Every structure is written in structure tokens, then in C-alpha cells.
Structure 1
Amino acid sequence: MNFDSIAKEGESRDRGILTPDDRKYLRGEKEYSSKQSEIDARYRIRKRIKNAIIDFSIILSKLTDNDREQIFKSNAPSEERKEGISAEKLDEFVKQTRFVRGIEHAIGFLYLGIVDLGWNFEEVLEAGIKNAEEKRGYVVDNVSVNIEITHSEPNFEELIQKLQRGEGLTSEEMRALIRSGELDIDMETLDRLFERMSEDISEDLDEGEIELNFDPE
């Protein structure tokens, strides 16, 4: 898998809420010449995110069903199983999976903002589902959502020791470690880790141990 090409695709793709420069800045790949320039950039990012959230009222009610279906169907990974997948198709699968990850992370961002305010996330989610079903033309009698969360604090020192011993980490452990900032890792080492992960995925796909479908819960 060519992770360099995937990274470049992320830089060259069209502006969304974030501009290409915003993406570089938030990833730590761009610095501003003054503190005030950085403050101004963060203000612009916050303002665009707020307006994007408000825009979803228009998007839900006014965007056509056909437009919505094209956005999702053209970017979602195929449900078709592929044997002996090539590096190019694996590369395409990763790009498509990023779209689904984007959906997951959007929900995660909204969840954090809602919970930080002390609002009931389940009630907001119920209201959102009700609006969506009404958009489909139904009269909604009731929507009930129940979310149960169990979690624990990761032991970063233990995870680092496992990594140093050459033991494998789960994807969840790796993500927690990288996000924590506790792992002093250069880009070359990170690239090798990604390359190793891509080789493992390719082997599993070739052996039929995993399928190229993505069914978010």
C-alpha cells in the first residue's frame, strides 16, 4: 500500500470545512509566522465548523435524495468480497474506508461537544433520527435510543514496553498510544508500522480471513 499517495491525496483533495492549509496546521505540518496569525487561523476554523453544523439543517431538508445517495454510495467500500486483492485495490479500499471513518469521527466530535455541554446525547440522537425518518415521509410515533459505554484508562508505559519488545498492539491500543503523545516516534518508524500493517491486511485478504466490507455499527 502506498501511504505516501494517500497522504498526498489528503492534501490535494478539495476544501471541505478545512482548507488544505488548515489540515496541515492541525496535523502539525504547518506553522504560522506570528502568534496572532495562528489565533486568527483557529478562529476561522471554529467559525467554519459552527456554520457547517448549522448548514446541516439545510442539507437534511433541501438536498435531494439522489444527491445524498451519490455521496454515500460512491464513497463507501464495496460489499463485494475480493480474492487476491492487488496493492492498487487495497489502496482504493483504504481511501474509501477513510470516508466511513470520517462519519464515525464526525459523530465522535458531536458527541464530545454535546456531552461537554452537559446535554443528553441520547435525546439529541433521538431527535436527529426522528427528523431523518420524517424526511423519508413517515409520521414518527416514538424513537428510543439506549447507549451503554464501558471503558478503561490505557496503561501507556505498558503499551510502550510491548512495542519495544516487538509485541503486537491492537489497532485501538496503537491509536490510543499515538494520540496520547507518550510515544516518541519519527515519521520513518511510523511509515514502517503502517507498511507492516498493510502487509498483514494484504495477507489476510489473500487468505480469505477478512473481507472488504465495512458495516459501521
Structure 2
Amino acid sequence: MTENEDDFDAEKAAQAAVGVLDKDWNERPRGMLSHDDRLFIVGMKDYEWQQSESNARRRVMDRIINGFDDFSLLRSLDQSEASKILAELGEDELHRRVSDLLTVVYQMTGRDTAALASMVESGVLHGENSELGGDAPSPSDVFGYDGGASNVDVSIQIDRKPDVEQIYERYKTDGERLTPKEIGVLVVEGMVGPEDLEDLRSSQ
């Protein structure tokens, strides 16, 4: 099996990964992914043979799946160990890494907000009714008997920025169908003026 690997270049790697990687991403010890896995997944490692590339993809997938499976084992950490991990990471880094995880999970589900909300609800409910390092919660704990939490509600609402160019194209072809909010967007962007607004009013 012959492999072609470019010389490591941190800047190139960051660009290949859309600028979201920490600067020492490929200098860290192995975690879920090996050194070669990281190079491959960001497009910096090529294989001469198609079968070798297919094997690499399968290997990375298996390691990611097994990595997800390991999360359930982390609940066996006792609180003192968890506190040390948090202290070493820092709250900002923990926030960033959990945010990265949620980003990937959200995209895996096809941007299904209901599915993501359900996962967060389940995780918080189990976390509220159990302790790190303890036994897994019993059904009575999970469902809130004996004073435990019985429900967690997570709502995800996404506000999207308006597509100004699309609104302007609709304005040019059929301005009468624009909503007041869409007209306001064009005004703020300086794409329509007082005379244009007067024309819209007279046509409605």
C-alpha cells in the first residue's frame, strides 16, 4: 500500500478544515482519531489505491462510532475526576468542544431541531436524576418519582437572516407580494427609496 502525504502545514490544515481547528490539532496525543485519521479527514492525506481509501473511511467511521459508545462509560467518572477535567479544560474550552459536538450531531440528523432538542432533554433529565460515579439511575429516578426531575423542556428556535438579493429580485418582479418586513429589509439596505415606497403604496 502506497501513501502520499504532503508535508504538514498548520495553516493549510486549518484552511482545509474551514478554520475551526485549534492550532495544535495534529500535535495532540491520540484521542478518538489517530494522527493519520486526522490528516485524512481534513483532506491532507491521500491514498494511491481506492481500496486503501475505502478502508481508511471505514476505520474512521468505526472509531467515531466507538467514540460515541464510550460516552456512556464517562458517567462512571467520580465527581472529583470530572472537576479536575473541567479545571484543566476551562469552561470556555469545554463550551467550545461541546458546541463542536452539537454541531456535528445536528448536521448528522439533517438539521433536525426536534431530534437535537430531544437528545438534550434526555441527557439533562438523566444528569439531573443521577450522580457521576454512581449507579445508573433506576426507572423511578428517571421518570421523576420520589422527588426526582420528571421532565425537561428544550425548545430550539432558529432566526435566519433574510436573503436580501432574493427579496430584491422579488421586488423587481412582483413588489406587491412583499411583506412589510421584507420591504423594511430593502429600506435598511438602501435598495429602495421614498419614491419606490410611494409606488408600492399606490399599487396596493
Coarse TM-score class (shorter-chain normalised): 0.5 to 0.7
Q: In the alignment, does 2:76 pair up with 1:46?
A: no
Aligned partners of 1:129 and 1:143 also within 8 Å: yes
Structure 1, residues 109-166: CA drift from partner, whole Å, max 9, x if none? Answer: 11222346896222221111111112238721221111111224889xxxxxxxxxxx
1:125 is the counterpart of 2:139: no
Deviation by residue 1:60-111 (Cα, 9 ceiling, x = unmatched): 2x1121222222221116xxxxxxxxxxxxxxxxxxx665422211111112
| 1:35 alignment counterpart | 50
Q: How does 1:185-200 map to 2 (within 5 A)?
A: none
Contact map agreement 2:36 2:45 (CA 8 A) in 1: yes
Aligned pairs, number = 131
Q: Over aligned residue pairs, what C-alpha RMSD do you find? A: 2.8
The two structures have a TM-score, normalised by structure 1, of: 0.52
- The yes-or-no answer on 1:25 pairing with 2:40 is yes
- Written as runs of structure 1 = structure 2, the 5 A alignment for 1:57-206 is 57-60=72-75, 62-76=76-90, 100-115=95-110, 120-136=115-131, 139-152=148-161
8 Å Cα contact 1:115-1:121 kept in structure 2: no
SS of the counterpart of 1:106? helix
Contiguous gaps of at least 5 residues in structure 2: 1-9, 12-21, 132-136, 138-146, 165-204
Percentage of matched positions with identical amino acids: 26
Paired with 2:155 and 2:54, the residues of 1 have a C-alpha distance of 39
Residue aligned with 2:85, SS = helix
SS in 2 for 1:120: helix
Looking at structure 2, the residues matched to 133 and 121 of structure 1 have their Cα atoms a distance apart, in angstroms, of 18
Distance change >3 Å, CA 153–CA 106, structure 1 → 2? farther
Contact 1:75 1:99 in 2 (8 A): yes
Q: Which has the higher contact order (CA 8 A, sep 6+)?
A: 1
Larger C-alpha radius of gyration, 1 or 2? 2
Structure 1 residue runs without a partner (length 5+): 78-96, 156-217
3-state secondary structure, aligned to 1:146: coil
TM-score normalised by L of structure 2: 0.55
Q: Per the alignment, in what secondary structure is the counterpart of residue 131 of structure 1?
A: helix
Q: 1:134 to 1:99 in 2, by over 3 A?
A: closer
The alpha-carbon deviation at position 15 of structure 1 amounts to: 0.7
SS at match of 1:11: coil
User: Structure 1 residues 118, 151: closer, same or farther in 2, change over 3 A?
Assistant: closer
